[in-house]
Structure 1
Amino acid sequence: MTNLDDRIVRYGELQPCKTAFIDAHTPGSDQKENFTIIGGGVSESPDQHVHISIPHGFNIGAAGQPPKCRNSLHDHHTAEAFFVLSGRWRFFWGRWGTAGEVVLEEGDIFNIPTGIFRGFENIGTDYGMIMAILGGDDAGGGVMWAPQVIEDAADHGLVLGENGKLYDTKKGQSLPEGIKPMPLMSAEELAKRPEPTTAEVLPNHVARYWDMVALADKTPCKVIGEHGLLRDRPGFEVDFITRASASEAMHSHDRPSVLMPVKGHWRVDWEGGTTVLAPGDTMSVPEGLAHRAQPSMTGEAALYHIVGTDDAAGPTWKPE
Protein backbone atom coordinates (compact mmCIF):
# COMPACT_ATOMS: atom_id res chain seq x y z
CA MET A 1 0.00 0.00 0.00
CA THR A 2 1.29 3.44 -0.94
CA ASN A 3 0.93 5.79 2.04
CA LEU A 4 0.57 9.44 1.05
CA ASP A 5 -0.29 10.87 4.48
CA ASP A 6 2.78 13.10 4.41
CA ARG A 7 1.58 14.62 1.12
CA ILE A 8 -1.91 15.55 2.32
CA VAL A 9 -2.46 18.77 4.29
CA ARG A 10 -5.89 19.04 5.90
CA TYR A 11 -7.52 22.43 6.29
CA GLY A 12 -7.92 21.88 10.02
CA GLU A 13 -4.21 21.06 10.40
CA LEU A 14 -2.86 24.17 8.68
CA GLN A 15 -0.34 25.98 10.87
CA PRO A 16 -0.55 29.77 10.53
CA CYS A 17 2.16 32.36 10.95
CA LYS A 18 1.10 35.81 12.16
CA THR A 19 4.56 37.34 11.81
CA ALA A 20 5.26 36.31 8.21
CA PHE A 21 5.67 39.75 6.65
CA ILE A 22 6.82 43.27 7.25
CA ASP A 23 3.30 44.63 7.92
CA ALA A 24 2.64 42.19 10.79
CA HIS A 25 2.46 45.09 13.29
CA THR A 26 0.85 47.67 11.00
CA PRO A 27 -2.73 48.48 12.09
CA GLY A 28 -5.23 47.04 9.63
CA SER A 29 -2.82 44.27 8.59
CA ASP A 30 -1.81 42.86 11.96
CA GLN A 31 -4.46 40.12 12.17
CA LYS A 32 -3.64 38.23 8.97
CA GLU A 33 -2.39 34.66 8.95
CA ASN A 34 0.01 33.25 6.36
CA PHE A 35 0.22 29.57 5.44
CA THR A 36 2.98 27.85 3.49
CA ILE A 37 1.58 24.55 2.24
CA ILE A 38 3.98 23.41 -0.50
CA GLY A 39 7.47 24.86 -1.02
CA GLY A 40 9.37 27.47 0.94
CA GLY A 41 7.02 30.32 0.12
CA VAL A 42 8.00 33.96 0.51
CA SER A 43 7.63 34.42 4.26
CA GLU A 44 10.16 36.75 5.87
CA SER A 45 9.81 35.09 9.29
CA PRO A 46 11.65 32.09 10.79
CA ASP A 47 8.35 31.22 12.52
CA GLN A 48 6.74 30.14 9.24
CA HIS A 49 5.91 26.43 9.14
CA VAL A 50 6.34 24.63 5.80
CA HIS A 51 3.98 21.66 5.48
CA ILE A 52 5.43 19.99 2.36
CA SER A 53 8.95 20.88 1.24
CA ILE A 54 9.09 18.62 -1.84
CA PRO A 55 9.92 20.72 -4.96
CA HIS A 56 7.00 20.97 -7.40
CA GLY A 57 8.18 23.79 -9.67
CA PHE A 58 5.70 26.09 -7.92
CA ASN A 59 4.61 27.00 -4.38
CA ILE A 60 1.21 26.62 -2.75
CA GLY A 61 0.25 28.91 0.10
CA ALA A 62 -2.76 30.61 1.64
CA ALA A 63 -3.81 33.77 3.44
CA GLY A 64 -6.46 33.84 6.13
CA GLN A 65 -7.87 37.14 7.33
CA PRO A 66 -10.74 38.38 9.48
CA PRO A 67 -13.11 41.02 8.06
CA LYS A 68 -11.54 44.39 7.15
CA CYS A 69 -8.00 42.97 7.42
CA ARG A 70 -5.72 44.00 4.56
CA ASN A 71 -2.58 42.58 2.93
CA SER A 72 -0.27 45.47 2.02
CA LEU A 73 0.91 46.44 -1.47
CA HIS A 74 3.66 44.14 -2.75
CA ASP A 75 4.99 42.41 -5.85
CA HIS A 76 6.80 39.20 -6.81
CA HIS A 77 9.32 38.39 -9.52
CA THR A 78 7.17 35.48 -10.71
CA ALA A 79 3.51 34.63 -11.13
CA GLU A 80 1.02 34.91 -8.29
CA ALA A 81 -2.46 33.47 -8.69
CA PHE A 82 -5.19 33.31 -6.04
CA PHE A 83 -8.50 31.50 -5.80
CA VAL A 84 -11.05 32.26 -3.12
CA LEU A 85 -11.79 29.36 -0.81
CA SER A 86 -14.11 31.29 1.49
CA GLY A 87 -15.32 34.83 1.96
CA ARG A 88 -15.50 37.88 -0.25
CA TRP A 89 -12.28 39.65 -1.23
CA ARG A 90 -11.28 42.93 -2.84
CA PHE A 91 -8.01 42.92 -4.78
CA PHE A 92 -6.42 46.27 -5.67
CA TRP A 93 -3.23 47.27 -7.44
CA GLY A 94 -0.93 50.10 -8.53
CA ARG A 95 1.66 52.33 -6.84
CA TRP A 96 -0.88 53.49 -4.26
CA GLY A 97 -3.43 50.71 -4.76
CA THR A 98 -5.74 52.98 -6.74
CA ALA A 99 -5.04 51.97 -10.37
CA GLY A 100 -7.74 49.30 -10.37
CA GLU A 101 -9.63 46.75 -8.30
CA VAL A 102 -11.82 43.66 -8.53
CA VAL A 103 -14.03 41.80 -6.06
CA LEU A 104 -13.80 38.01 -6.01
CA GLU A 105 -16.30 35.52 -4.60
CA GLU A 106 -15.84 31.87 -3.60
CA GLY A 107 -14.24 29.82 -6.37
CA ASP A 108 -13.14 32.81 -8.48
CA ILE A 109 -9.47 32.92 -9.54
CA PHE A 110 -7.15 35.87 -10.23
CA ASN A 111 -3.84 35.43 -12.08
CA ILE A 112 -2.30 38.76 -11.07
CA PRO A 113 0.00 40.41 -13.66
CA THR A 114 3.63 40.65 -12.60
CA GLY A 115 5.28 44.05 -12.38
CA ILE A 116 2.53 45.78 -10.42
CA PHE A 117 2.03 46.26 -6.70
CA ARG A 118 -0.99 44.35 -5.46
CA GLY A 119 -2.87 43.98 -2.20
CA PHE A 120 -6.08 42.44 -0.97
CA GLU A 121 -8.57 42.66 1.86
CA ASN A 122 -11.38 40.55 3.26
CA ILE A 123 -14.58 42.52 2.70
CA GLY A 124 -16.84 39.72 3.88
CA THR A 125 -18.49 39.31 7.27
CA ASP A 126 -16.51 36.27 8.48
CA TYR A 127 -12.94 34.98 8.53
CA GLY A 128 -11.98 34.23 4.93
CA MET A 129 -9.29 32.22 3.15
CA ILE A 130 -7.65 32.60 -0.24
CA MET A 131 -5.33 29.95 -1.69
CA ALA A 132 -2.20 31.03 -3.59
CA ILE A 133 -0.04 29.58 -6.36
CA LEU A 134 3.41 31.13 -6.79
CA GLY A 135 5.71 30.41 -9.71
CA GLY A 136 9.06 28.66 -9.14
CA ASP A 137 10.44 26.50 -6.35
CA ASP A 138 11.97 29.55 -4.65
CA ALA A 139 8.86 31.68 -5.31
CA GLY A 140 10.91 34.33 -7.05
CA GLY A 141 13.28 35.01 -4.18
CA GLY A 142 11.00 37.05 -1.95
CA VAL A 143 8.65 40.00 -1.87
CA MET A 144 9.06 43.56 -3.14
CA TRP A 145 7.14 46.07 -1.02
CA ALA A 146 5.79 49.47 -1.96
CA PRO A 147 7.99 52.08 -0.21
CA GLN A 148 5.21 53.33 2.05
CA VAL A 149 4.70 49.79 3.41
CA ILE A 150 8.34 49.60 4.55
CA GLU A 151 8.13 53.07 6.08
CA ASP A 152 4.88 52.30 7.92
CA ALA A 153 6.31 49.03 9.24
CA ALA A 154 9.37 50.80 10.68
CA ASP A 155 7.02 53.14 12.56
CA HIS A 156 5.55 50.05 14.23
CA GLY A 157 8.80 48.30 15.06
CA LEU A 158 9.52 45.99 12.13
CA VAL A 159 12.61 46.44 9.96
CA LEU A 160 13.33 44.36 6.86
CA GLY A 161 16.99 43.68 6.20
CA GLU A 162 18.53 43.51 2.76
CA ASN A 163 18.93 39.78 3.48
CA GLY A 164 15.14 39.43 3.33
CA LYS A 165 14.75 38.79 7.07
CA LEU A 166 12.59 40.69 9.55
CA TYR A 167 13.85 42.27 12.77
CA ASP A 168 11.44 43.31 15.51
CA THR A 169 12.69 46.31 17.47
CA LYS A 170 9.85 45.76 19.96
CA LYS A 171 11.64 42.54 20.94
CA GLY A 172 15.00 44.26 21.17
CA GLN A 173 16.18 42.99 17.80
CA SER A 174 18.31 45.08 15.47
CA LEU A 175 19.97 44.64 12.12
CA PRO A 176 23.08 42.43 12.39
CA GLU A 177 26.44 44.02 11.74
CA GLY A 178 27.02 44.35 8.02
CA ILE A 179 23.32 44.03 7.14
CA LYS A 180 21.65 47.16 5.82
CA PRO A 181 17.92 47.87 5.69
CA MET A 182 16.11 46.76 2.56
CA PRO A 183 16.45 49.78 0.22
CA LEU A 184 13.33 51.56 -0.95
CA MET A 185 12.60 51.42 -4.65
CA SER A 186 13.80 54.58 -6.38
CA ALA A 187 11.54 57.08 -8.09
CA GLU A 188 12.97 55.92 -11.43
CA GLU A 189 12.12 52.27 -10.69
CA LEU A 190 8.64 53.18 -9.54
CA ALA A 191 8.02 55.29 -12.65
CA LYS A 192 8.67 52.23 -14.88
CA ARG A 193 5.86 50.24 -13.26
CA PRO A 194 2.63 50.11 -15.27
CA GLU A 195 -0.67 51.25 -13.77
CA PRO A 196 -3.22 49.07 -15.62
CA THR A 197 -6.89 49.88 -15.19
CA THR A 198 -9.54 47.39 -14.12
CA ALA A 199 -10.76 47.17 -17.71
CA GLU A 200 -7.26 46.27 -18.90
CA VAL A 201 -6.65 43.62 -16.23
CA LEU A 202 -9.94 41.71 -16.00
CA PRO A 203 -10.26 40.02 -19.44
CA ASN A 204 -7.11 37.86 -19.32
CA HIS A 205 -6.51 37.66 -15.59
CA VAL A 206 -9.82 36.93 -13.79
CA ALA A 207 -12.03 33.85 -14.21
CA ARG A 208 -15.37 33.54 -12.43
CA TYR A 209 -16.44 30.34 -10.71
CA TRP A 210 -19.76 29.92 -12.50
CA ASP A 211 -18.20 30.63 -15.89
CA MET A 212 -15.68 27.83 -15.26
CA VAL A 213 -18.48 25.50 -14.10
CA ALA A 214 -20.23 26.08 -17.43
CA LEU A 215 -17.02 25.48 -19.40
CA ALA A 216 -16.22 22.28 -17.48
CA ASP A 217 -19.47 20.54 -18.42
CA LYS A 218 -17.75 17.71 -20.37
CA THR A 219 -13.99 18.08 -19.97
CA PRO A 220 -11.86 19.96 -17.40
CA CYS A 221 -11.57 23.68 -18.02
CA LYS A 222 -7.99 24.79 -18.70
CA VAL A 223 -7.81 27.93 -16.58
CA ILE A 224 -4.15 28.97 -16.66
CA GLY A 225 -1.89 27.83 -19.47
CA GLU A 226 -0.75 28.79 -22.95
CA HIS A 227 -4.15 27.74 -24.27
CA GLY A 228 -6.05 28.42 -21.08
CA LEU A 229 -8.98 30.64 -20.28
CA LEU A 230 -6.36 32.94 -18.76
CA ARG A 231 -3.53 32.67 -21.27
CA ASP A 232 -0.21 32.56 -19.47
CA ARG A 233 2.92 30.41 -19.13
CA PRO A 234 4.02 30.99 -15.51
CA GLY A 235 5.71 27.60 -14.98
CA PHE A 236 2.49 25.81 -14.06
CA GLU A 237 -0.95 25.02 -15.46
CA VAL A 238 -4.25 25.13 -13.60
CA ASP A 239 -7.31 23.07 -14.52
CA PHE A 240 -10.83 23.36 -13.06
CA ILE A 241 -12.73 20.08 -12.70
CA THR A 242 -16.38 19.54 -11.77
CA ARG A 243 -18.59 16.50 -11.27
CA ALA A 244 -19.48 16.71 -14.97
CA SER A 245 -15.86 16.64 -16.13
CA ALA A 246 -14.26 14.30 -13.57
CA SER A 247 -12.88 11.17 -15.24
CA GLU A 248 -13.03 7.62 -13.93
CA ALA A 249 -9.82 6.78 -15.78
CA MET A 250 -6.61 6.39 -13.79
CA HIS A 251 -3.83 8.67 -15.05
CA SER A 252 -0.41 9.97 -14.01
CA HIS A 253 1.91 12.91 -14.63
CA ASP A 254 5.66 13.09 -15.21
CA ARG A 255 5.98 15.55 -12.30
CA PRO A 256 4.16 16.13 -8.99
CA SER A 257 0.62 17.46 -9.28
CA VAL A 258 -1.66 19.09 -6.71
CA LEU A 259 -5.37 18.65 -5.98
CA MET A 260 -7.27 21.42 -4.16
CA PRO A 261 -11.05 21.08 -3.71
CA VAL A 262 -13.05 24.29 -3.59
CA LYS A 263 -16.53 22.74 -3.39
CA GLY A 264 -17.74 19.34 -2.21
CA HIS A 265 -15.89 16.20 -1.11
CA TRP A 266 -13.61 14.36 -3.50
CA ARG A 267 -12.46 10.75 -3.32
CA VAL A 268 -8.92 10.26 -4.60
CA ASP A 269 -7.88 6.73 -5.54
CA TRP A 270 -4.35 5.69 -6.41
CA GLU A 271 -2.41 2.48 -6.81
CA GLY A 272 -2.31 1.32 -3.22
CA GLY A 273 -4.62 3.71 -1.43
CA THR A 274 -7.57 6.07 -1.22
CA THR A 275 -8.60 9.20 0.68
CA VAL A 276 -11.32 11.85 0.71
CA LEU A 277 -10.48 15.54 0.33
CA ALA A 278 -12.66 18.43 1.51
CA PRO A 279 -12.52 22.14 0.58
CA GLY A 280 -9.33 23.64 1.98
CA ASP A 281 -7.42 20.36 1.86
CA THR A 282 -4.33 20.11 -0.36
CA MET A 283 -2.92 16.89 -1.79
CA SER A 284 0.38 16.42 -3.59
CA VAL A 285 0.35 13.42 -5.94
CA PRO A 286 3.82 11.96 -6.70
CA GLU A 287 5.02 11.92 -10.27
CA GLY A 288 4.31 8.66 -12.09
CA LEU A 289 1.60 7.54 -9.66
CA ALA A 290 -1.65 6.53 -11.35
CA HIS A 291 -4.63 8.20 -9.66
CA ARG A 292 -8.10 9.66 -10.17
CA ALA A 293 -10.34 12.14 -8.35
CA GLN A 294 -14.13 11.97 -8.28
CA PRO A 295 -16.86 13.55 -6.13
CA SER A 296 -17.70 11.25 -3.22
CA MET A 297 -21.07 12.78 -2.29
CA THR A 298 -24.03 14.29 -4.09
CA GLY A 299 -24.24 18.05 -4.57
CA GLU A 300 -21.97 20.73 -5.95
CA ALA A 301 -18.34 19.70 -6.50
CA ALA A 302 -15.37 21.57 -7.96
CA LEU A 303 -11.63 21.03 -7.77
CA TYR A 304 -8.51 22.92 -8.84
CA HIS A 305 -5.68 20.83 -10.31
CA ILE A 306 -2.15 22.28 -10.62
CA VAL A 307 0.86 20.78 -12.38
CA GLY A 308 4.23 22.29 -13.27
CA THR A 309 5.48 22.86 -16.81
CA ASP A 310 8.87 23.42 -18.42
CA ASP A 311 8.15 27.13 -18.87
CA ALA A 312 10.33 29.51 -16.90
CA ALA A 313 8.69 30.87 -13.74
CA GLY A 314 9.25 34.43 -14.86
CA PRO A 315 7.09 37.47 -15.53
CA THR A 316 3.55 37.02 -16.79
CA TRP A 317 3.60 35.94 -20.42
CA LYS A 318 1.58 38.07 -22.83
CA PRO A 319 0.21 36.34 -25.93
CA GLU A 320 1.22 37.79 -29.27
Structure 2
Amino acid sequence: MNQPMTLEDVATSWKRHTAASAPCSESDMHGRIARWGDIPASDRAFVDTYIPGHERTLFSVIGSGVTDDPAFRPKIATAENFHVDYIVAPQGSGAALHCHDSEEVFFIHAGRWELDWLDGATGTLHTTMLAPRDLVSVPPHVHRAFRSVDGESGMIVSILGGKTPSPVKWDASVAAKATARGAGFDAAGAALKVSNLAGRGTMEGLDH
Protein backbone atom coordinates (compact mmCIF):
# COMPACT_ATOMS: atom_id res chain seq x y z
CA MET A 1 0.00 0.00 0.00
CA ASN A 2 1.39 3.42 -0.93
CA GLN A 3 2.42 5.65 1.90
CA PRO A 4 0.86 9.12 2.08
CA MET A 5 3.04 11.76 0.41
CA THR A 6 4.44 14.60 2.42
CA LEU A 7 4.83 18.16 1.15
CA GLU A 8 8.56 17.46 0.83
CA ASP A 9 7.78 14.41 -1.35
CA VAL A 10 5.59 16.55 -3.60
CA ALA A 11 8.33 19.16 -3.97
CA THR A 12 10.89 16.45 -4.77
CA SER A 13 8.61 14.94 -7.42
CA TRP A 14 8.89 18.13 -9.46
CA LYS A 15 12.65 17.75 -10.04
CA ARG A 16 12.15 15.59 -13.15
CA HIS A 17 9.43 17.89 -14.51
CA THR A 18 11.11 21.30 -14.53
CA ALA A 19 13.78 22.81 -16.80
CA ALA A 20 15.41 26.13 -17.57
CA SER A 21 14.52 27.97 -20.77
CA ALA A 22 16.91 27.95 -23.72
CA PRO A 23 18.14 31.36 -24.96
CA CYS A 24 15.82 33.22 -27.36
CA SER A 25 16.17 36.96 -27.78
CA GLU A 26 13.46 39.30 -29.03
CA SER A 27 15.13 39.43 -32.44
CA ASP A 28 15.41 35.64 -32.49
CA MET A 29 11.67 35.26 -31.98
CA HIS A 30 10.79 37.97 -34.49
CA GLY A 31 12.82 36.01 -37.04
CA ARG A 32 10.44 33.10 -36.46
CA ILE A 33 7.26 35.08 -37.15
CA ALA A 34 5.60 34.86 -40.58
CA ARG A 35 3.14 37.70 -40.99
CA TRP A 36 0.55 37.16 -43.68
CA GLY A 37 1.58 40.07 -45.87
CA ASP A 38 5.23 38.98 -45.89
CA ILE A 39 4.84 35.30 -46.81
CA PRO A 40 6.34 34.46 -50.25
CA ALA A 41 3.77 33.17 -52.73
CA SER A 42 4.05 31.41 -56.08
CA ASP A 43 1.55 30.05 -58.60
CA ARG A 44 4.32 27.96 -60.23
CA ALA A 45 5.77 26.21 -57.20
CA PHE A 46 5.13 22.74 -58.65
CA VAL A 47 5.39 21.27 -62.14
CA ASP A 48 1.76 20.12 -62.16
CA THR A 49 0.58 23.74 -62.23
CA TYR A 50 1.24 23.64 -65.99
CA ILE A 51 -1.60 21.09 -66.26
CA PRO A 52 -5.15 22.55 -66.44
CA GLY A 53 -7.09 21.83 -63.27
CA HIS A 54 -4.05 22.03 -61.01
CA GLU A 55 -3.66 25.80 -60.78
CA ARG A 56 -3.06 27.01 -57.24
CA THR A 57 -1.04 29.48 -55.18
CA LEU A 58 1.43 28.23 -52.59
CA PHE A 59 2.36 30.44 -49.64
CA SER A 60 5.64 29.05 -48.28
CA VAL A 61 5.71 29.70 -44.54
CA ILE A 62 8.42 27.70 -42.79
CA GLY A 63 10.96 24.96 -43.49
CA SER A 64 13.57 24.02 -46.04
CA GLY A 65 11.08 24.00 -48.92
CA VAL A 66 9.94 20.98 -50.93
CA THR A 67 8.75 22.64 -54.13
CA ASP A 68 9.84 22.04 -57.73
CA ASP A 69 11.42 25.51 -57.70
CA PRO A 70 14.69 25.52 -55.70
CA ALA A 71 14.82 29.32 -55.84
CA PHE A 72 11.45 29.70 -54.09
CA ARG A 73 12.21 29.90 -50.38
CA PRO A 74 9.93 29.97 -47.30
CA LYS A 75 9.54 33.05 -45.12
CA ILE A 76 11.09 31.23 -42.15
CA ALA A 77 13.98 28.94 -43.03
CA THR A 78 14.56 27.68 -39.48
CA ALA A 79 12.50 24.56 -38.80
CA GLU A 80 13.85 21.53 -37.01
CA ASN A 81 11.42 18.80 -38.01
CA PHE A 82 8.53 20.21 -40.03
CA HIS A 83 7.50 22.41 -42.95
CA VAL A 84 4.34 24.51 -43.32
CA ASP A 85 2.65 25.87 -46.45
CA TYR A 86 -0.71 27.53 -47.11
CA ILE A 87 -2.50 26.64 -50.35
CA VAL A 88 -5.26 28.54 -52.16
CA ALA A 89 -6.81 27.22 -55.38
CA PRO A 90 -9.60 28.17 -57.81
CA GLN A 91 -12.74 26.09 -57.55
CA GLY A 92 -12.11 22.59 -58.90
CA SER A 93 -8.33 23.00 -58.91
CA GLY A 94 -5.59 21.69 -56.65
CA ALA A 95 -2.60 19.38 -56.49
CA ALA A 96 -2.22 16.35 -58.76
CA LEU A 97 -1.36 12.88 -57.43
CA HIS A 98 1.99 12.96 -55.64
CA CYS A 99 3.72 11.64 -52.56
CA HIS A 100 6.35 12.59 -49.99
CA ASP A 101 8.81 10.49 -48.00
CA SER A 102 7.33 11.65 -44.69
CA GLU A 103 3.89 12.19 -43.19
CA GLU A 104 1.86 15.13 -44.45
CA VAL A 105 -0.93 16.68 -42.43
CA PHE A 106 -3.65 18.74 -44.09
CA PHE A 107 -5.66 21.14 -41.93
CA ILE A 108 -8.66 22.77 -43.59
CA HIS A 109 -8.49 26.43 -42.66
CA ALA A 110 -11.43 27.58 -44.79
CA GLY A 111 -13.76 26.17 -47.42
CA ARG A 112 -14.25 22.53 -48.38
CA TRP A 113 -11.63 20.38 -50.06
CA GLU A 114 -11.76 16.96 -51.68
CA LEU A 115 -8.89 14.62 -50.88
CA ASP A 116 -7.95 11.70 -53.14
CA TRP A 117 -5.51 8.96 -52.20
CA LEU A 118 -4.27 5.97 -54.15
CA ASP A 119 -4.13 2.55 -52.50
CA GLY A 120 -0.91 1.10 -53.88
CA ALA A 121 -2.00 -2.43 -52.98
CA THR A 122 -5.21 -2.42 -55.02
CA GLY A 123 -4.80 0.54 -57.38
CA THR A 124 -8.06 1.99 -56.02
CA LEU A 125 -8.41 5.77 -55.93
CA HIS A 126 -10.41 6.83 -52.87
CA THR A 127 -12.00 10.24 -52.26
CA THR A 128 -13.29 12.01 -49.17
CA MET A 129 -14.62 15.49 -48.42
CA LEU A 130 -12.95 17.68 -45.80
CA ALA A 131 -14.68 20.65 -44.17
CA PRO A 132 -13.29 23.62 -42.22
CA ARG A 133 -11.28 22.56 -39.14
CA ASP A 134 -11.05 18.96 -40.37
CA LEU A 135 -7.57 17.44 -40.33
CA VAL A 136 -6.05 14.40 -42.03
CA SER A 137 -2.63 12.75 -41.79
CA VAL A 138 -1.46 11.13 -45.04
CA PRO A 139 1.16 8.37 -44.60
CA PRO A 140 4.57 8.53 -46.32
CA HIS A 141 4.79 7.33 -49.93
CA VAL A 142 0.99 7.26 -50.40
CA HIS A 143 -0.07 9.25 -53.45
CA ARG A 144 -2.52 12.02 -52.64
CA ALA A 145 -4.29 14.82 -54.51
CA PHE A 146 -6.56 17.59 -53.30
CA ARG A 147 -8.78 20.24 -54.85
CA SER A 148 -10.79 23.20 -53.66
CA VAL A 149 -14.56 22.91 -53.72
CA ASP A 150 -15.28 26.48 -52.60
CA GLY A 151 -12.87 28.41 -54.79
CA GLU A 152 -10.60 31.28 -53.74
CA SER A 153 -12.31 31.55 -50.36
CA GLY A 154 -10.81 28.21 -49.33
CA MET A 155 -7.40 27.62 -47.79
CA ILE A 156 -5.67 24.40 -46.82
CA VAL A 157 -2.64 24.21 -44.52
CA SER A 158 0.01 21.60 -45.32
CA ILE A 159 2.35 20.42 -42.55
CA LEU A 160 5.11 18.11 -43.74
CA GLY A 161 7.30 16.17 -41.31
CA GLY A 162 11.03 15.50 -41.43
CA LYS A 163 14.21 17.56 -41.27
CA THR A 164 15.03 17.55 -44.99
CA PRO A 165 12.24 15.91 -47.00
CA SER A 166 13.10 14.69 -50.47
CA PRO A 167 11.57 16.38 -53.53
CA VAL A 168 7.99 15.54 -54.46
CA LYS A 169 7.44 12.29 -56.37
CA TRP A 170 4.64 12.36 -58.95
CA ASP A 171 2.29 9.65 -60.15
CA ALA A 172 3.11 8.36 -63.66
CA SER A 173 -0.19 9.73 -64.97
CA VAL A 174 0.86 13.23 -63.92
CA ALA A 175 4.21 12.85 -65.68
CA ALA A 176 2.42 11.86 -68.89
CA LYS A 177 0.07 14.86 -68.80
CA ALA A 178 2.88 17.28 -67.99
CA THR A 179 5.13 15.86 -70.70
CA ALA A 180 2.37 16.32 -73.28
CA ARG A 181 2.40 20.02 -72.40
CA GLY A 182 6.18 20.29 -72.50
CA ALA A 183 6.60 20.49 -68.73
CA GLY A 184 9.46 18.68 -67.03
CA PHE A 185 12.67 19.35 -65.09
CA ASP A 186 16.15 20.68 -65.73
CA ALA A 187 19.33 18.98 -64.51
CA ALA A 188 19.05 20.72 -61.13
CA GLY A 189 15.50 19.44 -60.59
CA ALA A 190 13.76 22.76 -61.23
CA ALA A 191 10.46 22.58 -63.09
CA LEU A 192 10.36 24.13 -66.55
CA LYS A 193 8.24 24.22 -69.67
CA VAL A 194 9.45 23.90 -73.25
CA SER A 195 7.55 26.59 -75.15
CA ASN A 196 7.98 25.06 -78.62
CA LEU A 197 7.48 21.30 -78.72
CA ALA A 198 7.85 21.14 -82.50
CA GLY A 199 11.51 22.16 -82.34
CA ARG A 200 14.18 22.32 -79.70
CA GLY A 201 12.21 25.08 -78.03
CA THR A 202 13.19 27.37 -75.20
CA MET A 203 12.96 26.64 -71.52
CA GLU A 204 10.80 28.79 -69.30
CA GLY A 205 11.63 28.63 -65.60
CA LEU A 206 9.04 29.03 -62.89
CA ASP A 207 7.66 32.48 -62.23
CA HIS A 208 8.27 33.91 -58.78
Say yes or no: TM over 0.5. Answer: yes
Distance 1:47 1:68 in 2: 28
Q: Where do residues 1-320 of structure 1 align in structure 2 (5 Å cutoff)?
A: 2-3=26-27, 4-29=29-54, 31-94=55-118, 99-139=125-165, 141-161=166-186, 163-170=188-195, 172-173=202-203
Q: Which runs of 5+ in 2 are unaligned?
A: 1-24, 196-200
Q: In proportion to residue count, which structure has more helix?
A: 2
Deviation, 1:78, is: 0.7
Structure 2: distance between partners of 1:70 and 1:61: 14
* Residue 88 of structure 1, CA deviation: 0.5
What is the Cα deviation at residue 62 of structure 1? 2.0
The answer to which structure, 1 or 2, has the higher relative contact order (CA under 8 A, 6+ apart) is 2
Residues 113-161 of structure 1 show CA distances to partners (whole Å, capped at 9, x for unaligned) of 223210000011543211111111212x111100010111112221135
Measure the CA separation in 2 of the matches of 1:80 and 1:133: 6
Task: Give the total of aligned pairs.
Answer: 172
CA contact (8 A) 1:39 1:55 kept: yes
> What CA deviation, in whole Å up to 9, does each residue of 1:175-228 have, x standing for no partner?
xxxxxxxxxxxxxxxxxxxxxxxxxxxxxxxxxxxxxxxxxxxxxxxxxxxxxx
Q: Give the conservation status (yes or no) of the 8 Å contact 1:84–1:131.
A: yes
Distance, in Å, in 2 between the alignment partners of 1:37 and 1:62 is 7
Unaligned runs of 5+ in 1: 175-320
* SS of corresponding position for 2:50: coil
Q: Segments of 4+ in structure 1 off by > 4 A?
A: 95-98
Name the CA shift for 1:90/1:41 in 2 (closer, same or farther; >3 Å). Answer: same
Q: Is residue 72–residue 118 contact of structure 1 (8 Å, CA) maintained in 2?
A: yes
TM-score after normalising by structure 2: 0.74
3-state DSSP of counterpart to 1:154: helix
Rg bigger for which structure?
2
User: Per the alignment, do residues 13 and 102 of structure 1 end up closer, same or farther by CA in structure 2, a change over 3 Å counting?
Assistant: same
Alpha-carbon distance in 1 for matches of 2:95, 2:164: 21
Q: What is the Cα-based RMSD across aligned positions, in Å?
A: 2.3
Q: Is the 8 A contact 1:17 1:49 kept in 2?
A: no
Equivalent residues of 2:38, 2:75 under 8 A apart? no
The one-letter code matched in structure 2 to 1:69 is: S
User: Deviation digits for residues 82-126 of structure 1, max 9, x if unmatched?
Assistant: 101111000011169953121111111100122321000001154
**Counterparts of 2:127 and 2:105 in 1: how far apart (Å)?**
15
CA contact (8 A) 2:32 2:78 kept: no
- String of CA shifts for 1:224-256, please: whole Å, max 9, x gaps: xxxxxxxxxxxxxxxxxxxxxxxxxxxxxxxxx
Matched residues, percent identical?
Answer: 28
Q: Answer with 41-50 or 51-60: which moved more.
A: 41-50
Q: Distance in 1 between matches of 2:88 and 2:151?
A: 13
